[in-house]
């Protein structure tokens, strides 16, 4: 079996995105289940530390929310921040993933 660090999921239309959006989505894909990162973390990870608002706008328009877990990105102050499907659903998803992660250990 080949030793692969990461396996990229082929998503229809992903290559048509602007490079900035692709970088944002790839960074978000690296966030483990049951964990969260901040918009600032995503911006820093893609090499654009001052682009936190732009990161938020990209995630707001995530066309693949079941594949790219934008709900795992929160504000620097610990608040949930926005979520296109509603803040209540974001909380439910985060709590569910946290429980799944705890059950896996």
Residue 4: the pLDDT is 53
Does some domain include residue 98? yes
Residue 4 domain flag: no
Residue 99 inside a domain? The answer is: yes
Question: CA angle 50-69-100, nearest 5°?
Answer: 130
Q: Kindly state whether residue 73 falls inside one of the protein's structural domains.
A: yes
Q: Residue 4 class from Cβ within 10 Å (0-12 exposed, 13-18 middle, 19+ buried)?
A: exposed
Q: Residue 3 is encoded by which pair of tokens?
A: 């030793």
Q: Domain of 77: which CATH number?
A: 1.10.10.10
Is 3 part of a structural domain of the chain? no
9 belongs to a structural domain: no
Confidence of residue 1 (pLDDT cuts 50, 70, 90): very low
Active site residues: 70
- Are the C-beta atoms of residues 27 and 46 closer than 8 Å to each other? yes
In a domain, 5, yes or no: no
> Considering the entire predicted model, what is its pTM?
0.84
Q: How many structural domains compose the chain? A: 1
- Residues in Cβ contact with 92 at an 8 Å cutoff, skipping those fewer than 6 apart: none
Reported as a single tens digit per residue, the pLDDT across 25-77 is 999 999 999 999 999 999 999 999 999 999 999 999 998 888 899 999 999 99
Residue-number span of the structural domain to which 23 is assigned: 17-104
């Amino acid at each position: 079996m080949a030793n692969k660090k990461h396996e990229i999921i082929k998503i229809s239309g992903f290559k048509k995105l602007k490079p900035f959006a692709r970088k944002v989505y790839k960074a978000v894909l690296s966030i483990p289940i049951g964990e969260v990162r901040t918009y600032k973390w995503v911006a820093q990870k893609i090499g654009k530390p001052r682009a936190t608002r732009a990161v938020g706008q990209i995630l707001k328009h995530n066309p693949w929310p079941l594949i790219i877990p934008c709900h795992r990105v929160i504000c620097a102050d610990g608040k949930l921040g926005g979520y296109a499907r509603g803040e209540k659903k974001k909380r439910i998803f985060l709590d569910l993933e946290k429980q799944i992660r705890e059950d896996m250990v």
